Amino acid sequence: MELQGKTAIITGSARGIGEGIALALAKEGASVVINSRKEKDCLETVEKIRALGGTAIAIAADVAKEDQVTALVAETVKHLGRVDILVNNAGIESAPTLLKDISEETWDRVMSVNTKGVFFCCKAVIPQMMAQGKGKIVNISSVAGVRMTFFGGANYTASKYAVMGLTNHLAWELADSHINVNAIAPGAVLTPLAEQNTTPEYREMTTKRLIPLGRWCTSDDIGNATVFLASDRADMITGQILAVDGGILTGFGEDLRPVIRQRMADMQANHP
């Protein structure tokens, strides 16, 4: 097992992509901290990991609040002794909206979690990793941070570009402390929430038009990539973006703006 003896914090890991990452790391021997804003939301994932024979604890924290993030790291060290891996997965989207219709409140909410949350979490773990002499930080960004997004608004795109910039800067800043900082850029990921918010017809359409490998990603796909970047095999990789997108970034194909704008209108009509 590649991560035996390591301790990992995975933010936003009660469900979806974060849960997949937590399970993947635990299967490779890591002791994992399952995080969400509410502890009760984490318990099912904790039990799944313990049922596999792994070690997991739940620690609640809102990553957009620095004092809670500081406490998250302190509790991890208290209970598990160290922090070897930080996976900044927590993130939110707002309903797909054109820029002219995005409110300041909505813009700030997305940026606060997706960008400021990564800043707070990195800031909190860096002293511990420095003291240990090594560490791995994996930021879960998006193909939206490489090109743009069809699935959210400009606020989401801006937040994920910021994560990419922070990744690159920290990789340089922390290299002499032997802390690797990389980002994963998922494409369309078929989480339970994504399945709930899209129709089979929409998923089939986007697959045909956007994804050369012919399917949406799974949480396992993102988890496997995270295991690699968190492992000793990636010791000479830092400041990089690993796209796990089925080939979306090879090219968008036809103009989908009319389709996406219709989806925006449909969603706004269903969720006024």
Q: Which residues contact 196 (CB under 8 A, 6 or more apart)?
A: none
Given a contact cutoff of 8 angstroms between Cβ atoms, the answer to whether 41 and 115 are in contact is no
Give the pLDDT score at 216: 94
In this structure, what token pair is assigned to residue 210? 């956007």
Give the pLDDT score at 226: 98
Rounded to whole angstroms, the Cα distance separating 85 from 254 reads 40
Name which of 95, 93, 144 is nearest 266 in CA terms. 95
Q: Count CB atoms within 10 A of the CB of residue 251.
A: 9
In this structure, what token pair is assigned to residue 265? 């209108």
Q: Which residues of the chain have pLDDT under 50?
A: none
Which residues are designated catalytic?
Answer: 156
Rounded to whole angstroms, the Cα distance separating 96 from 168 reads 28
Rounded to whole angstroms, the Cα distance separating 203 from 188 reads 9
CATH topology of domain 7-270: Rossmann fold (3.40.50)
Q: Which residues of 12-28 are buried (b: 16+ CB within 10 A; e: fewer)?
A: bbbbbbbbbbbbbbbbb
The structure's pTM equals: 0.91
Domain boundaries, the chain: 7-270
Per-residue model confidence as pLDDT tens digits over 184-202: 999 999 998 888 888 888 8
Given a contact cutoff of 8 angstroms between Cβ atoms, the answer to whether 173 and 122 are in contact is no
In this structure, what token pair is assigned to residue 52? 């596999």
Per-residue model confidence as pLDDT tens digits over 243-268: 999 999 987 655 666 777 787 788 77
Give the pLDDT score at 254: 59
Give the pLDDT score at 255: 61
